[in-house]
Chains A and B, each alone.
Chain A
Amino acid sequence: MTRIALQLNGVRRSLDVEPRELLLDVLRERIGLTGAKRSCDVQVCGTCTVLVDGQPVSSCTYLAVEADGREVTTIEGFREDPAFERIAGAFTRHAATQCGFCTPAMVLTVHALLRDGELTDEGSIRDGLAGNLCRCTGYRGILDAVAELASEGTGG
């Protein structure tokens, strides 16, 4: 067991983790934050995405010990951020969620990329979101929603 300390959704937490324990398991099973989902386990689908120091990472392949001293944001934290409402509004208007399994990860990824000015046109949206699979929507609604957000600038 190793003791780690992290800033989780704005709250300082310390906990003991096994060296091999994955951040996704710690979040879901130990802390009960289930917004990050598990699907492929191999860093392809992106549905386990959380923000570590603001950057999207696949928590299914990210060791919990690596999060020591860092800031981790999950959808449960981000939904309290003013930037959330803007993204959620666009996703809702464009019906960019169906089953919702990919959605929290999609929202976090879009937020990070928008904030960093990486979503400017359709090409950059396609590039930026290529690591987030969605089996339901066929991506059109997501593209429309994100294009609208991008055209409005970084906003929040």
Chain B
Amino acid sequence: MTIRTPERIVGEGAQVGRSMPRVDAGEKLRGEARYVGDMSVPGMLHGKVLRSPFPHARIISIDVSAALALPGVVAVLTGEDTLDIDPYWGHAIKDRPIVAIGEVRFVGEPVAAVAAEDEATAEAALAEIVVEYEELPVVGTLDDALAADAPLVHDGPIRPGLFHGLGTLPDRDGNICYRYGFERGSVDEVFEQAEIVVEGEYTFPGVYQYAMETHSVIAQWEGGEVTLWATCQHPFLVRAEIAALFDLPLGRVRIIVPYLGGGFGSKSYTKMEPITVALARKAGRPVRIVNRVDESMVTTRRHGAKTWMRTAADRSGRLLAREARVWFDTGAYADNGPRVTATGADSAPGPYRWSGVRVEASCVHTHTAPSGSYRAFGASHVQWAGELQVDEVARRAGIDPVEIRRLNLLTPGEQVRPGGKPLDADLIGDIRKVADALGWDEPREPGIGRGISVGLLAAGAHPVSSAIVRLEADGEAIVLVGSTEMGQGQRTAFAQIAAEVLAMPAERIRCQGTDTRFTPYDRSTGASRSTTLAGLAVQRAAAEVRADLMEIAGKVWPDAGDAVELRDGAAWWKGERRSYPELIARRFGLSGGQLIGEGGVHPEGTGSYAEGPVFWEVCIGAAEVHVDRETGVVSVRRTATVADVGTAINPLLVERQDEGATMQGIGNALLEEMVYREGMLLNDSLLDYRIPTIEDLPPEQVCVIVENADGPGPFGAKGCGEGAFAGIIAAIATAVADAGVRVDELPLTPERVWRSSQGQPKEDAKG
């Protein structure tokens, strides 16, 4: 169900704003869509990775002779094979060896890799590799890592990676590899005098993104060039990292990205590419590595986090000050931890008007799998904590949760953080819409809780994108853009954007995957940026083609001036029509030729993190839950989200994005948790790590699409698909609290809810 307000803005071709079917639906339904694991290249070997069984150990020796002796085994890679290059990588911090060198820092860290003629042989060879370890002390949790005498996960200096985008990285402080914080206004004074102070500690678990397709890579060295077919959200950044690692010019690394079977952040930046390239280099033949699920779980995950927070308010419910400290468990290697930390800090105050704010966030190493990006990172970790406190203030002040937000929310144009982009969304309007959609004011039965939440997420990442649009001689167009289709529907959106500009049906526009040899540069696919930034590049590229068409039309009708109209794939003047093929033929004489347009987006200022974001993504959700106090079972009965998208390029796909985010939010709030004990992951299979099934789908779900044309993207669009995730997690947490249960740790499993509702102490902290 959708509520759409106000009337949407469409152009003459009405291509933008229509819920056309996905351009890739047919291929996907027919099973024709190819993913990396479905592909092979001539001479290809199969790679398997031997992974560390210990969270922390010294490698004393590795004997690969028995593995190499197996018939069918072509090569075995160990750390020694990488010592001819600088083998450390990491886009934020270069802290990660291609294969372990002398030491392992998490269970699952690659220790060796085998390339063999078939998978079974490669697998069998792993068992023949003899590794002698000496176990070392383990830092299993945030508390362990922050203890005064904690063993250090890393002790060398910070080596900045190519793409942290966070200015100067500070030095290490014990196990803390990055810190980000800010203080504005008078904080201590306000807390001393405040009439209401709410304080608490909150725990967010490590979570597995579970893109159903695991990380998969084919690497091939040929003629001094590396070609990768890889599950990359950010192919151009991976290209740069591979080029730097193996000392190749950028143009000699080629990355081809077919369809991705989901990403959600798990395939952002570099993951399994370096080890696959190194193995192919050693084997002298192409190699394919396809992770199992348990391997992808330890390739990257969402950070677990601990938040201490307090909020001050006056008796009337006016919010005054907030202070937060957040610790993100980034695991053994930084991955995207620094950026997650900064984004989490930015989300911690919430979108309210404060007299004082102090936030300090730390990115902390432990001997667990590295943590990186996952949908709405940062905001998901802290928004629920902040919103629980706002509700508590409301309760003490005796006002309604919707009312307290209306009183305190920032309005468009107000500063969110100094120097950054001011608020570009109507939050007060949005919160009212989501409350109405949920039925906020309806009477509630016993056992029912309702929650509402609002937050902001710094979206867009770094604003660099480019696109090429080619109008072919037959009037069909091709869009080349280096952004990855991982399910979100960007190929459809790009086709619609180009079609709107070119005044032709989107069905006649093809947009395919990235091949860095041909598709122009795009910074990344994530942070809800594709429609906004790559989409803007597509719009600009199409505009160049349009200008070309108008120029040719001007030659056809010299007296027409600006009066030529483009419509339905043709130019029109005074009832006369010239189709695009006719116009193209006119320019090139005989048939053939094409019109080519180029479009780009780059930062206006320096593009630094501080100046951003590209836009503030609105994280709004509302939920109605039923809590069974006898069993502790929480069931979500109704959810509502707001997709504040500026302009919906394809409303149905917007709605589907929010529904997907809602379901993942339900998973994160109620079910999902990577359970670690002393550095060992206890639930490393989907038998034990449960994600939502269709049975968990709430009976009622509403997505409100808000179109105020206030985004920086094409036709006033801005991205979506992440905000609802953070919004729903927080809405469920506040709804369960509303039902009378203390909430300070996610997920809200039956056991946790039961203990809390019975006033029982929490279970022992996980070791």
Least CB separation from A128: chain B residue: B694
Q: How far is the CA of A86 from the CA of B665 in the complex (A)?
A: 32
Whether, in the assembled complex, B229 has its beta carbon less than 8 Å from a beta carbon of chain A, the answer is no
Whether, in the assembled complex, B37 has its beta carbon less than 8 Å from a beta carbon of chain A, the answer is yes
What chain B residues lie within 8 Å of A79 (beta carbons)? 29-31
**Known A-B contacts A35-B31, A100-B28, A136-B262; A129 and B664 likewise in contact (beta carbons under 8 Å):** no
Whether, in the assembled complex, B25 has its beta carbon less than 8 Å from a beta carbon of chain A, the answer is yes
> B31 near A76 (CB under 8 angstroms)?
yes
- Count, A-B residue pairs, CB within 8 A: 168
Least CB separation from B46: chain A residue: A29
The B-contacting residues of A in range 93-137, CB under 8 angstroms, are 93, 95, 97-104, 107, 125-127, 129-137
Whether, in the assembled complex, B487 has its beta carbon less than 8 Å from a beta carbon of chain A, the answer is yes
Closest Cβ of chain A: how far from B23's Cβ, in Å?
11
- Subset of 14 A-B contacts with CB under 8 Å: A29-B119, A34-B31, A37-B212, A88-B29, A92-B21, A95-B489, A98-B262, A98-B487, A99-B259, A100-B24, A102-B212, A103-B28, A132-B694, A140-B697
Closest Cβ of chain B: how far from A74's Cβ, in Å?
7
Which one, A40-48, A64-72, A148-156, is touching chain B?
A40-48
The A-contacting residues of B in range 470-510, CB under 8 angstroms, are 486-489
Whether, in the assembled complex, B585 has its beta carbon less than 8 Å from a beta carbon of chain A, the answer is no
Interface residues of B (CB under 8 A from A): 19, 21-22, 24-35, 37-38, 118-119, 210-214, 259-264, 290, 292-293, 486-489, 652-653, 656, 659-664, 685-687, 691-695, 697, 701
> A95 near B694 (CB under 8 angstroms)?
no
> B212 near A41 (CB under 8 angstroms)?
no
Whether, in the assembled complex, A6 has its beta carbon less than 8 Å from a beta carbon of chain B, the answer is no
Cβ 8 A contact of B686, one of A40, A76, A95, A101: A40
> B29 near A91 (CB under 8 angstroms)?
yes
What chain B residues lie within 8 Å of A14 (beta carbons)? none
Closest Cβ of chain B: how far from A39's Cβ, in Å?
5
Cβ 8 A contact of B261, one of A29, A37, A41, A130: A37
Whether, in the assembled complex, A142 has its beta carbon less than 8 Å from a beta carbon of chain B, the answer is yes
The B-contacting residues of A in range 38-58, CB under 8 angstroms, are 38-42, 44-45, 47
What chain B residues lie within 8 Å of A39 (beta carbons)? 212-214, 293, 686
Whether, in the assembled complex, A138 has its beta carbon less than 8 Å from a beta carbon of chain B, the answer is yes
Q: Is the interface of B mostly helix, strand, loop or mixed?
A: loop
Q: How far is the CA of A115 from the CA of B545 in the complex (A)?
A: 50
What chain A residues lie within 8 Å of B697 (beta carbons)? 126, 138-140, 143
**Known A-B contacts A98-B488, A98-B656, A100-B259; A138 and B31 likewise in contact (beta carbons under 8 Å):** no
Q: How far is the CA of A100 from the CA of B25 in the complex (A)?
A: 8
**Known A-B contacts A99-B259, A99-B487; A74 and B31 likewise in contact (beta carbons under 8 Å):** yes
Least CB separation from A94: chain B residue: B652
> A104 near B29 (CB under 8 angstroms)?
yes
What chain B residues lie within 8 Å of A74 (beta carbons)? 31
What chain A residues lie within 8 Å of B118 (beta carbons)? 29
Closest Cβ of chain A: how far from B292's Cβ, in Å?
6
What chain A residues lie within 8 Å of B27 (beta carbons)? 100
What 10 additional pairs, Cβ within 8 angstroms, besides A38-B37, A40-B293, A99-B213? A39-B686, A47-B212, A88-B25, A99-B486, A100-B28, A101-B213, A101-B261, A133-B212, A134-B694, A135-B262
Q: How far is the CA of A42 from the CA of B21 in the complex (A)?
A: 33
> A137 near B659 (CB under 8 angstroms)?
yes
Cβ 8 A contact of A99, one of B262, B293, B659, B694: B262
Closest Cβ of chain A: how far from B91's Cβ, in Å?
23
Least CB separation from A107: chain B residue: B29
> A41 near B31 (CB under 8 angstroms)?
no
Cβ 8 A contact of B22, one of A42, A76, A97, A135: A97
What chain A residues lie within 8 Å of B29 (beta carbons)? 79, 87-88, 91-92, 97, 100, 103-104, 107
Closest Cβ of chain B: how far from A77's Cβ, in Å?
10
Closest Cβ of chain B: how far from A91's Cβ, in Å?
6
What chain B residues lie within 8 Å of A143 (beta carbons)? 694, 697
Q: Is the interface of A mostly helix, strand, loop or mixed?
A: loop
Least CB separation from B724: chain A residue: A138
Count, chain A residues at interface, CB 8 A: 53
**Known A-B contacts A95-B22, A99-B262, A100-B33; A138 and B693 likewise in contact (beta carbons under 8 Å):** no
Least CB separation from B658: chain A residue: A138
> A138 near B21 (CB under 8 angstroms)?
no
What chain A residues lie within 8 Å of B656 (beta carbons)? 95, 98, 137-138, 140-141
> B21 near A100 (CB under 8 angstroms)?
no
Whether, in the assembled complex, A23 has its beta carbon less than 8 Å from a beta carbon of chain B, the answer is no
Closest Cβ of chain B: how far from A100's Cβ, in Å?
3
Least CB separation from A127: chain B residue: B695
Least CB separation from B27: chain A residue: A100
What chain B residues lie within 8 Å of A102 (beta carbons)? 212
Q: How far is the CA of A45 from the CA of B547 in the complex (A)?
A: 50
> A45 near B686 (CB under 8 angstroms)?
yes
> B212 near A45 (CB under 8 angstroms)?
yes
> A135 near B31 (CB under 8 angstroms)?
no
What chain A residues lie within 8 Å of B34 (beta carbons)? 34
> B660 near A137 (CB under 8 angstroms)?
yes
Least CB separation from A131: chain B residue: B693
**Known A-B contacts A133-B693, A139-B697; A100 and B487 likewise in contact (beta carbons under 8 Å):** yes
Closest Cβ of chain A: how far from B489's Cβ, in Å?
7
What chain B residues lie within 8 Å of A34 (beta carbons)? 31, 34, 37-38
Q: How far is the CA of A106 from the CA of B488 in the complex (A)?
A: 18
> A129 near B694 (CB under 8 angstroms)?
yes
> A140 near B30 (CB under 8 angstroms)?
no
What chain A residues lie within 8 Å of B263 (beta carbons)? 99
Least CB separation from A106: chain B residue: B29
> A138 near B663 (CB under 8 angstroms)?
yes
Closest Cβ of chain B: how far from A14's Cβ, in Å?
21
Least CB separation from B261: chain A residue: A101
What chain A residues lie within 8 Å of B261 (beta carbons)? 37, 99-101
Q: How far is the CA of A131 from the CA of B686 in the complex (A)?
A: 12
Least CB separation from B485: chain A residue: A99
Cβ 8 A contact of A130, one of B659, B691, B695: B695
What chain A residues lie within 8 Å of B486 (beta carbons)? 99
**Known A-B contacts A88-B26, A92-B21, A138-B697; A37 and B659 likewise in contact (beta carbons under 8 Å):** no
Q: How far is the CA of A51 from the CA of B366 in the complex (A)?
A: 45
Closest Cβ of chain B: how far from A146's Cβ, in Å?
9
Cβ 8 A contact of A101, one of B35, B119, B660, B694: B35
Closest Cβ of chain B: how far from A98's Cβ, in Å?
4
Closest Cβ of chain A: how far from B13's Cβ, in Å?
21
Q: How far is the CA of A75 from the CA of B27 in the complex (A)?
A: 11
> B686 near A97 (CB under 8 angstroms)?
no
Least CB separation from B699: chain A residue: A122
> B21 near A95 (CB under 8 angstroms)?
yes
What chain A residues lie within 8 Å of B33 (beta carbons)? 100
What chain B residues lie within 8 Å of A95 (beta carbons)? 19, 21-22, 25, 489, 652-653, 656
Least CB separation from A101: chain B residue: B261
